[in-house]
Amino acid sequence: MRAYHIASTETGPTLTDLPIPTPGTGQLRLKIAACGLNFADLLMIQRKYQDTPEPPFTLGMEVAGIVDALGPDTDGPAIGARVAVFGGQGGLAEYGVFDVNRCVEIPDCMSFEDAAAFQIAYGTSHVALDHRARMQPGETLLVTGAAGGVGLTAVEIGKLMGATVIACARGADKLEVAKAAGADHLIDAKTQDIREIVRSLGGADVVYDAVGGAQWQAAFRACKPEARLLPIGFASGEVPQVPANHLLVKNLSVLGVYWGGYMKFRPQVITDSLRTLLGWYEQGRLKPHVSHVLPLDRAAEGLELLRSRKSTGKVVITP
């Protein structure tokens, strides 16, 4: 089979021929139909991600496809079932072996492309806004990177949860994507003053920040007292430093969110969240935005779209 594979710490990813893997006990093999790309894939290539596997490994954190085989003494979805998997690695390939307990069957109405674009982006935003920030209807939510893979889902879910959503993104085209997802107010990060505009709208109760750097600083200064700030990612390349004295004076809370971490210490949080999200999808209340669908031999191009911020929503690879 073909796989977008990292052979050693000294080499970057290449399209490689590998043996088709065999599932062990507690595992299934998936014939992969689609793999969603994530900013974390770029960090893994640079060995900067907190859960970077030791090489050799295949990139691709979240996939969807058809169950092809079950390991010995393994109960799981039937062969032929349509499932999505957050595997953490192994998705940019024609086949992959994954733990059964990481799989979720997907509705008949859900395409493989939507399923591969769904779990991390929607899961991160829902767990962040609902479980961590406890956001309430009527509150004001500020989203930076609002046209990106996770930011766009925060706009969509924030609106579903009854918030007034302020979307911050770079350029008119990206802001139009955020507006279509339900944003009430738009800020162009290239030309407008985030702090002043948010303050003119009354300030933010919740900040969902996927960018870091200067945008985090501006959002931090635009918070209402008792606001909750969610550091989701650092697409700017700059991890912000939080002045604790400002937290004290304004009674602010900074809440870390690492969606994949819940798989290790409290998986029920993810299970309950995905149940809610898939229900919303079946009801037509969530519509994943996939800006690019590319074949496996163009995986490098897909990752470059993320790195250069030329994509909106998700980029999906179809082996």
CB 224 within 8 A of CB 203: yes
pLDDT in tens, 70-121: 999 999 899 999 999 999 999 999 999 999 999 999 999 999 999 999 999 9
Q: Both 114 and 137 in a single domain?
A: no
Cis, peptide link before residue 288, omega less than 30° from 0: no
Host H or E run for residue 104: strand 103-105
Residues 132 and 247 in one domain: yes
Per-residue pLDDT, 50: 87
- CATH at residue 103: 3.90.180.10
pLDDT in tens, 215-274: 999 999 999 999 999 999 998 989 999 999 999 999 999 999 999 999 889 989 998 999
CA angle, corner 142, sides to 189 and 268, nearest 5? 130
Share of the chain above pLDDT 70, in %: 100
Q: Is residue 210 part of a domain?
A: yes
Residue 278 domain-assigned (yes or no): no
Measured distance CA(221)–CA(194) in Å, rounded = 9
Distance CA 12, CA 270 (A): 32
Which domain does 237 fall in, by range?
A: 121-259
180 and 222 in a common domain: yes
How many domains does the structure of the chain reveal?
2
Q: What is the dihedral of CA 62, 66, 70, 71, to 10 degrees?
A: -30
pLDDT per residue over 197-223, tens digit each? 999 999 999 999 999 999 999 999 999
* Paired tokens of 5: 């594979």
Q: What is the CATH number of the domain that holds 230?
A: 3.40.50.720
Token pair 């501006």 in the structure block, residue: 218
Which two structure tokens, joined as six digits, stand for 120? 């991390």
pLDDT digits (tens, 9 = 90+) for 134-166: 999 999 999 999 999 999 999 999 999 999 999
When pLDDT is averaged across residues 157-182 and rounded to a whole number, the result is 97
pTM of the model as a whole: 0.91
Residues 271, 5: Cα–Cα separation, whole Å: 29
Same domain for 146 and 184, yes or no, is: yes
